[in-house]
């Protein structure tokens, strides 16, 4: 365990050397991107290729002799695109079995997906989110089932000092005890909210892999136990409509984080993804009417009513 998700990520990247190449998702968590682009690229001369990982041809043509590590995030934040972990593992390991495959599994948590069983070498979890589950701890976790890689990583992490405090460990252990019942409820709540959004005339589209209308539905089903607590959707109109919806919510709290027992709402274009240039945001589909919900454990009737009344205010 480490002092934050970002400390876990930094530790893994410390396994690399100058000149190594990393292939990663083009729409990863903003903090990871910032570290890769603004510190690791410039200070350590590690070469990052940001690609659409669910495009197999693109991945194949990006692999090279210098490729040391593949960085996956599935589903992505906030557009919830799912990548076939088994297919990536097969292609990459066929090319060179020594390439390390990392999956940042924060969005699903181990309850909904276990990438090590799908062939990944390392899993990263920001325990700040679902594992802690109560928005009151900051912690990161790295897991592997490869002894050699583990020894190397533990040496790096102990030496670089991003260790977690005893109190944070205590809080995370408490959180993990209820992970399965929280996630079971949060998955259910998310599904019902997605179904409501999909039918509402004020909504342009709802992106939730649990919906059969979602292009990633079958893939998500094949590698996940549940579809997760994050639901993204686009309201018709733009900034004004999104803002009207968000300020009308009473049960959902406007906040950047996710994964807690309380339901949270985020406006990526002005909050979590504001630092992404507007043209790239458009390309990724993160338009001004885009909203991301992290569904909590509250009574589903309260959540549905809240979403419905806020949509009615638009």
Ligand X SMILES: *Cc1c(COP(=O)(O)O)cnc(C)c1O
Q: How far apart are CA 304 and CA 299, in angstroms?
A: 9
Residues 131-170 contacting ligand X, CB under 6 A? 138, 140
Q: Does 4 bind ligand X (CB under 6 A)?
A: yes
β-pair type (100-104, 67-73): parallel
Closer residue to ligand X (CB): 200 or 253? 253
Q: How far is the CB of 140 from ligand X (least distance, A)?
A: 5
Please give the size of the binding site for ligand X, defined by CB under 6 A.
16
**Part in contact with ligand X (CB under 6 A); list of ranges 33-41, 126-134, 216-224, 271-279:** 126-134
- Interface characters, 54-83, with ligand X (x: CB under 6 A): -------------------x---x------
Q: How far apart are CA 280 and CA 27, in angstroms?
A: 10
Rg of the chain on CA atoms, in Å? 19
Q: How far is the CB of 108 from ligand X (least distance, A)?
A: 10
Contact 91, 203 (CB under 8 A): no
Helices (H), the chain: 5-13, 30-35, 41-44, 56-62, 85-95, 109-112, 147-160, 166-177, 179-199, 217-223, 239-248, 278-284, 300-312
Residues 8-37 contacting ligand X, CB under 6 A? 29, 31-32
Q: What is residue 74's three-state secondary structure? A: coil
Q: How far apart are CA 78 and CA 28, in angstroms?
A: 9
From the list 14, 114, 126, 232, which residue makes contact with ligand X (rule: CB under 6 A)?
A: 126
Buried b (16+ CB within 10 A) or exposed e, 61-90: ebbeeebbbbbbbbbbbbbbbbbbbebbbe
Q: How far is the CB of 272 from ligand X (least distance, A)?
A: 9
Q: How far is the CB of 226 from ligand X (least distance, A)?
A: 17
Closer residue to ligand X (CB): 81 or 129? 129
Closer residue to ligand X (CB): 116 or 300? 116
Which residues contact ligand X by CB under 6 A? 4-6, 29, 31-32, 73, 77, 104, 106-107, 126, 128-129, 138, 140
């Amino acid at each position: 365990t480490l002092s934050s998700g970002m400390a876990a990520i930094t530790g893994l990247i410390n396994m690399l050397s100058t000149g190594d190449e990393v292939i990663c998702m083009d729409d990863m968590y903003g903090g990871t991107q910032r570290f890769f682009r603004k510190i690791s690229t410039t200070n350590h001369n590690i070469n990052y290729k940001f690609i659409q990982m669910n495009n197999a041809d693109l991945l194949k043509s990006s692999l090279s002799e210098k490729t040391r590590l593949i960085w996956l995030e599935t589903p992505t934040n906030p557009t919830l695109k799912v990548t076939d972990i088994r297919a990536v593992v097969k292609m990459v390991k066929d090319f060179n079995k020594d390439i390390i495959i990392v999956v940042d599994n924060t969005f699903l948590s181990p309850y909904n997906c276990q990438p090590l069983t799908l062939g990944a070498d390392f899993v990263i979890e920001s325990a700040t989110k679902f594992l802690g589950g109560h928005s009151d701890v900051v912690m990161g976790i790295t897991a592997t089932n490869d002894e050699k890689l583990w020894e190397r990583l533990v040496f790096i992490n102990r030496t670089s000092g991003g260790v977690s405090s005893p109190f944070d460990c205590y809080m995370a252990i408490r959180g993990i005890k209820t992970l399965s019942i929280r996630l079971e409820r949060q998955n259910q709540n998310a599904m019902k909210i997605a179904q409501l959004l999909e039918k509402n005339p004020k909504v342009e589209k709802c992106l939730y892999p649990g919906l059969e209308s979602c292009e990633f539905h079958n893939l998500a089903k094949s590698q996940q136990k549940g579809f997760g607590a994050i639901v993204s959707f686009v309201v018709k109109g733009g900034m004004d409509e999104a803002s009207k919806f968000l300020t009308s919510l009473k049960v959902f709290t406007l906040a950047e984080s996710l994964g807690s027992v309380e339901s949270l709402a985020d406006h990526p274009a002005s909050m979590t993804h504001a630092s992404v240039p507007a043209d790239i945001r458009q390309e990724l589909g993160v338009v001004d009417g885009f909203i991301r919900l992290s569904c909590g454990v509250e009574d589903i009737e309260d959540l549905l009513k809240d979403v419905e009344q806020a949509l009615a205010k638009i």
